[in-house]
Each structure stands twice: as C-alpha cells, then as structure tokens.
Structure 1
Amino acid sequence: MAMPEGWLTQLPAPAGTLEPVQRRGRLALSEQSFPSRRQEAWRLTDLTRLEALFQLSLADQRSDSSSADSWPPVPEQALRLVIDGSQDPLQGVALPEGISLLEGAELEQALGHTLSRCRCASDWPVELNHGVSQQILALRIRGKVSPVELVMVASDAMLVPTRVLLLVEEKAELEFLQVVSAKGQAAHSHLLEIHLGQESKVNHGLLALGDGGEALLANLAVEQETRSHYSLVSVSQGWSFGRLEPSVVQVDGQASSSIHGLSVTAADEQFAVHTAVRFEGPEGTLDQVQKTIAADRSHSIFNGAIQVPRPAQRTNASQLSRNLLLSGRARVDAKPELEIVADDVRCTHGATVSQLQEDQLFYLRSRGITQSSAATLLLRGYCKEVLDRLPLSASQRWLGGSLQVGGMTP
C-alpha cells in the first residue's frame, strides 16, 4: 500500500532549518510502501487507525492558553518549554547556565547522527516525522544543569509534529521530563535524539496522556558513550492508537541503561511499545521492566529486542515484561527477544500475563475492604513502582499520584 494519494503534495513547501530533512523524508515516504501486517514490526497493528492520521490537518497550531492554566506549577529551579509544532518554544525564554542552543554547522553535524547509530533513521514513523516537522529544538547540555520540562500539546484534530535533539556533553547531568498531551482527536508525531558523552547522566521521564481518541507515534534514539548512564521512565494512557519506540545503543561499552515503562489501555485502545537496546562494547548493563494494564476490549503490545554482538563481552542485561489483564476481552502480546553472539554475558528475559490475584483480593476483603477498594489497592501497588520513578515529581504534579485504570483510580 502506498501513502494516501495527494497527501504529500498538500504539505507546506519545505522551508527553514529542516528543509533538507523534509525533502529527504518526503522522498522516502513516496518510495516506501505503507506499513503492512506482513512486516514483523507491524504484524499486530491495527493499520486502519494509522491510516486515519492522514485525515488530520497539518496546520499551524497555537497552544491553548486555557489548557496551560490547568497545568501544575513548574518545580522550583526547573525550566518549562512548550512545544506545539509551530511556535518557537524559546521565544521570550532565557536559558539557564549550562544550557545553550545548538545551531549552524554544529546542528547540521549532530542532526540524525544518533538515529543512524541506532539504525532507525529509515524507519517509517521516523521518515514521517522527517517529512512533516517544520522546526527542531536542539540544545547543548554542559555541566549539571537545572531540570527541564517539555510540554508538548495537540488538539482540534491536528497532526502535530515535534522534534528534539539533546547533546549532553562529557560529565554533564540532566533531569528531563516530557509531557505529551493530546485531546480532540489529535495526533502527535514525535522524534527525540539524545547523545550522552562520557560519564554523563540523563534521567528522562516521558508522560504521555491522551483523552481516549488520540494517536501517538513517538521515536526515541539514545546514543551512550563510555561510563554514561541513561534512565528512561515512560507512562502512557488514553491513546486510541499509540506506538512508542525507544532505541538505545551503547557505542563503546561500560555504560548503563535503565528502562521502566507502564502503559495503560482501556475501551478499544491499542498501544504498542517496541524497545531496542544494542551493546557495541564490553561491560554494559541494562535493567528493563515493562508493565502493562489492559482493560475492556483494549490491546497492549510489547516487543523488546536486545542485541549483544561479540565485542560486548561481560554484558549484564535483564528484561522483564509484566502484563495485567482486567478483562476477559482484553488482549496482551509480549515478545522479549535476545540476540547474543558474545560468549561471556549474563542476560535474562521473561514475560508474564496475569489477572488480579484472587488470594490477594480475598486477604484484603477479609479485613473489611470492599471488592472495588481491594482491586484499587492492588492496582496502585502495581503502578507505583513505575510512577514513583518519574522525575520532577511528575506523578504527583500531573496525575495526583494516580492513573484512571478500567474505571478505577488506583
């Protein structure tokens, strides 16, 4: 299947900093076939929901001031930037010490480098973002800097493309939260590149909140140099169609990665998480736990790939997929993958699918707790491990410490 007829020709003419990228992306989209369920990466995807994205407007969007009034206050010393795909997020903003704008030849050199190292530069959702993104937020991080909160908004049946690039220098430290918010049948196409220099640290949170009828395509590409540490905590809820794809490569070994995720689906929503971690040097570590909760008739998908080639001796990687079904009609597909060539490694993976445990419910009810309250308590404990890891107190500030799960608020 090809792209919807005429869609590419209706896009605004390529312009600005990303003009060469837009041209290459649109050419790739015109030459690539539309994703097919014959492709393993899309085999379980409801492609009719993906096709629906091309009915949306790709027009200038202005952030909704009434929505901004309802946002929680910015944490002390933190920098909040609002990205809506059209306005300059740095307009009227004074960047704090250690954070500077990346532009000119430096930006041209860094743009797409991490995507190539992660081997995802030609993936269809990435090329879609290339073809439609009109601006980029590119920042250099030097030293230990103030926390950064990026709020990305979409509404009114619009497809909002956003692109962010972070160049984290040697020994720099960054606490970084993204809040992706959508309503009104809108959609996000988001692309993030992070390069971590030697001995740098990035604590990255991604809170993706839809309103039940929205769509999300998010690709994260992370490149780690020696002795760097990258932590990703992602929480998603409320997307009719969603696809989150974090890709991490440890280029010279001796780096550490931590990936913790929670995706919640209800009604007839479908949300997929596809992670890829590749070790290219020795003594790298990975700690990964992906949790899902599927209620009603929803469908949750997890595919986690770990690659350990021969140079990656003494790798220590752990991956666990934990899935909770709240309905007999809900569906979970989990597929952890290990590809190991190195012979001196310690790698484990596993996947579980379960329901709320009757013995735990009985224990709580025997102490005077109602059935619904008991289920809520168990769900709260299940979510807490991930929610508490979100940086900048995001769980309390943006969620009030809880998520709406299958009609319950744990």
Structure 2
Amino acid sequence: MSEWLQGAIARGQQVQDGFSDQRAASLALLQEIKWPNRKTEAWRYTPLRAVERSSAQIKELSPELEPVSIADLQFLELVFVDGVLVSLPEELPDGLVIEMQESSLFGTIKPERHIFGLVNDVLAADVAVVRVAAGAVIEQPLRISNLMSEGAEGHIRVLVDVAQNAKVTVYEHAESQSGSLTTAYTEFRIGADATLEHYRFALQSGNQVSIGGSHFCLLERAQLNSTIIGFGSDLQRLDTDIIHRGEKADAKLNAIYLLDGQELFDLHANVEHEVPNCTTEENVRGIAADRSRAVFNGRIHIHRDAQKTLAELNNRNLLMSDKAEINTKPELEIYADDVRCAHGATVAEIDKKALYYLRSRGLTKGQAQVMLNFGFINELIDQMPNPTLAEWVRPIIRERFAQMEVK
C-alpha cells in the first residue's frame, strides 16, 4: 500500500457525519485494496507517481476564488473551493432542493472498483444532495464549480436525484491552480421518463492531479445526454459509468480530449445494459500533441436479459507528433443474442498534405492546424444541446489548438 493511501485512510478514520455508515464501508474496502501498478489493467497506462509525490495539503482557510462567467448564460451555482462548499444559490425554483444531509443514494451508483472513488467516499468533507421533484422542469442550468487553489487538496462529492418525469441540466466545471490534487465524484439517478442534460468540462492543465467520475443510473424511459471535454495535466483521470436499469432508457455520451506537452489524460467509460430495449450511443475523439499520452477504455456490457439492445461505440484519435501516444481499448461484452452492437477505434496522424495545401493558400502553420483540428472535433461540439455553452467553449478550444504544434 502506498504512503499516500495510508495517509488518506488515516484521515478518513477521523471523519464523522451523517454518512458515517457509508464511509465506514468504503474505508474497510480501502484497507484491503491493492495500490494500482502497471499490472493493474484499469491503470496499465496511467502511472500514479504524480499522486505519490504530490505535496498538496488540505487548507483550513480557502482563498477567494470565483467561477468563470459565461455571457448570456446564468446558472444556479454550487461552488466548491478546495473541497469545501462555500456557496449555494440564494433562491431555488419550485421543484429543486439542495441540502447537506444523509442520503441513501450515496455510493449506490458509483461502482466499488474505483479506488479513488472510495478515497472520495471517506474524505469528501461536504456532500451536496440535489433533488429534482417529480414532474419539475428546471429551466436554469445547475453548475457545480470545483475550484482548487495552489497546492491544495480537496475532495468533492455531489448526489443528484432526478425524480420521475423531471428535467434538469447539470454542468460540472473544474479549475485548478498549480500543485493541486482533487477527487471529484458525482452520482446521478435519473427516474422514469426523466431527462438529464449533462456536461463535464475538465479543463485543468499543467502541474495538477485531478481524478474523478460521473456515474449515472437510468430507470424506465430515462434520457441522458452527456458531453465531456478534457485537457491533460500531470495526471487527469475520469471514470464514467452508465447503468441501464429500466427498459427503453436512452443514453448518449460525447467526449473530447486535447493534450499537449507531457500531459496525461485517461478516460474510462463503462456502460451496463442490465435490461432489454435500451440504447447507447458513444462517440469519443482525442488529439495528442508533443509527448502527451491519452488513454481511452470504452466498455459496453450487454447482460443476458438485455435483449433488443442497440449500442454503438466509436473512438477516433489524431496524433500531431510521432512522440505522442494514444492507448485505446474499445470492448463489447455481450451475453444476449438479440442485439445490435458495434464498436471501433482509429488512430491516425494529421494529414500533412492538407496542412501543406492550407499553408500554400496563405494560412500560417498555426492557423492551418487549428482549422484541421477543429474540423476533427467540431461535429461533437455541434451536437451539444446548449448552443450558448457550445459557443463559449469554441474559442477556448481554438486557443488550445493554437498551442498544439505538429511535430
């Protein structure tokens, strides 16, 4: 067991609150778990040296950090600074409740196999519980802002329960300063005939460690539309689980990761089809430049009773350097015999002829590569349900592309 994990367990033993029973169960699992290494399949390409050498510490007094503003878009805001919930919306619309109290949802959707999810179970200081009442339509998006100051350690946990026939948009946004370490996990239960529009922007980069997950349970005829956009850092790991637990549920997941320098980004996406007549569409696209490394593992598990399942997984990657590395592993595990499933993965280099053609027409090298890169991922940006959010993120991605050189 690593020294870092031993310290986390010791601190977790001191946490006492309304979630003590769930924390104790996770603590017992942590005490028996093995620290991942290259022989651990889920961490084969993602070393944890950045965690082990991190000097980030829990801060008693959080500095004043403000979440990014987005023109023409107002949020109901939950603001975490260094793992502490510092701000809640002053007024909530009818049908929406946000509270800090015991919830049976805690730990029931996030699988126990996620070692840092267990760490989050025992160390998250503030657990926010969001409830959307049956039939409620929340027009204003709810944003969960995770802000980390320099050298800080923080653990963020949010539970979201969307009741029957309700509709809500949840946007998870993270910003971190140098030397920080954070775990951030969110569990979503989407009730029968309910709709969740979800975004997770993990735009941290540089000397930071960020590990987290978004985990979804879909009941009968529930609808999920999720978009993930991530940059790399010393270590950026995101686990996503989608569990179809009610018939005729529909899930769509689009993900984009953009890496430069010596950054690392690891996305593990797992879909469990437990019941019949459900659909999943998953599209993941990544671009890696310089000496960066991307890891993608996409697994779709069709259980024996999940007949009439329709599931598709596609992962496309673009290398901008012969020293960049992309490890992709799409998986289909099928135990039903009446299903339509497909998966695929590609890794290609940027088209040098296209780059030369654009430069011969008067574009600089930077302008040409931004154009080519944006064409590669723009389809997924266009599919974002919120056009205002899409227009806000486009210049951020363009700026990112401008820093990523073809080598």
> Per-residue CA shift, 1:248-277, capped at 9, x if unaligned?
110122111111111111111111100000
Matched-pair contact (CA < 8 Å) for 2:82–2:152:
no
Question: Matches of 1:81 and 1:6 in 2, distance apart?
Answer: 28
Query: Is 1:96–2:93 an aligned residue pair?
Result: yes
Question: Matches of 2:402 and 2:234 in 1, distance apart?
Answer: 14
> Per-residue CA shift, 1:85-125, capped at 9, x if unaligned?
55444556222222113565xx432222223xxxx124211
Matched-pair contact (CA < 8 Å) for 1:215–1:242:
yes
Unpaired stretches in structure 2, ≥5 consecutive residues: none
Per the TM alignment, residue 169 of structure 1 is displaced from its structure 2 partner at its CA by 0.7
Question: 2:252 aligns to what SS in structure 1?
Answer: strand
> Per-residue CA shift, 1:136-176, capped at 9, x if unaligned?
11111121102111211012211210001000011111112
Distance 1:226 1:92, change over 3 A: closer
Matched-pair contact (CA < 8 Å) for 1:2–1:30:
no
- Alignment counterpart, residue 273 of structure 1, candidates 267, 270, 274: 267
Query: Is 1:328–2:303 an aligned residue pair?
Result: no
Amino acid at match of 2:10: T
Could you tell which deviates more after superposition, 375-384 or 329-338?
Answer: 375-384
Unpaired stretches in structure 1, ≥5 consecutive residues: none
Query: Is 1:208–2:202 an aligned residue pair?
Result: yes
Q: CA RMSD in A?
A: 2.4
Question: 1:181 aligns to what SS in structure 2?
Answer: strand
Partner of 2:187: 193
Matched-pair contact (CA < 8 Å) for 1:72–1:397:
no
Question: Matches of 1:329 and 1:386 in 2, distance apart?
Answer: 26
Matched-pair contact (CA < 8 Å) for 2:224–2:252:
yes
Partner of 1:113: 108
Matched-pair contact (CA < 8 Å) for 1:306–1:339:
yes
Partner of 2:369: 375
Query: Is 1:286–2:283 an aligned residue pair?
Result: no
Query: Is 1:337–2:331 an aligned residue pair?
Result: yes
Query: Is 1:81–2:75 an aligned residue pair?
Result: no
Question: Matches of 2:290 and 2:402 in 1, distance apart?
Answer: 7
Question: Matches of 2:159 and 2:2 in 1, distance apart?
Answer: 30
Question: Matches of 2:99 and 2:150 in 1, distance apart?
Answer: 31
> Per-residue CA shift, 1:223-248, capped at 9, x if unaligned?
00111111110011142201110001
- Alignment counterpart, residue 306 of structure 1, candidates 296, 300, 303: 300
Partner of 1:72: 69
Question: 1:405 aligns to what SS in structure 2?
Answer: helix
Matched-pair contact (CA < 8 Å) for 2:302–2:335:
yes
Partner of 2:62: 62
Question: Matches of 1:269 and 1:77 in 2, distance apart?
Answer: 32
Distance 1:103 1:9, change over 3 A: closer
Question: Matches of 2:167 and 2:240 in 1, distance apart?
Answer: 20
> Per-residue CA shift, 1:200-225, capped at 9, x if unaligned?
11110111111311111112210001
Question: 1:113 aligns to what SS in structure 2?
Answer: coil
1:327-406 counterparts in 2 under 5 A? 327-390=321-384, 392=386, 393-397=388-392, 400-403=395-398, 404-405=400-401
Matched-pair contact (CA < 8 Å) for 2:232–2:264:
no
Distance 1:100 1:63, change over 3 A: farther
Amino acid at match of 2:69: P
**Percent identity between the two aligned chains:** 25
Matched-pair contact (CA < 8 Å) for 1:293–1:326:
yes
Q: TM-score, normalised by structure 2?
A: 0.91
Per the TM alignment, residue 72 of structure 1 is displaced from its structure 2 partner at its CA by 1.8
Could you tell which deviates more after superposition, 354-363 or 287-296?
Answer: 354-363
Question: Matches of 2:100 and 2:8 in 1, distance apart?
Answer: 30
Amino acid at match of 1:58: I
Could you tell which deviates more after superposition, 86-95 or 367-376?
Answer: 86-95
Could you tell which deviates more after superposition, 336-345 or 36-45?
Answer: 36-45
Partner of 1:130: 121
Question: Matches of 1:217 and 1:317 in 2, distance apart?
Answer: 27
Partner of 1:38: 39
Question: Matches of 2:258 and 2:116 in 1, distance apart?
Answer: 22
Amino acid at match of 2:34: S
Question: Matches of 1:343 and 1:16 in 2, distance apart?
Answer: 47
Distance 1:27 1:144, change over 3 A: same
Question: Matches of 1:340 and 1:131 in 2, distance apart?
Answer: 34
Question: Matches of 1:169 and 1:31 in 2, distance apart?
Answer: 36
Amino acid at match of 1:400: P
Question: Matches of 2:288 and 2:303 in 1, distance apart?
Answer: 35
Question: 1:167 aligns to what SS in structure 2?
Answer: strand
Q: TM-score, normalised by structure 1?
A: 0.90
Distance 1:214 1:387, change over 3 A: farther
Question: Matches of 1:391 and 1:188 in 2, distance apart?
Answer: 28
Amino acid at match of 1:254: K
Question: 1:126 aligns to what SS in structure 2?
Answer: helix
> Per-residue CA shift, 1:325-348, capped at 9, x if unaligned?
111100000000000111111111
Distance 1:314 1:156, change over 3 A: same
Matched-pair contact (CA < 8 Å) for 1:288–1:320:
yes
Question: Matches of 1:86 and 1:263 in 2, distance apart?
Answer: 24
Distance 1:10 1:199, change over 3 A: closer
Question: 1:25 aligns to what SS in structure 2?
Answer: helix
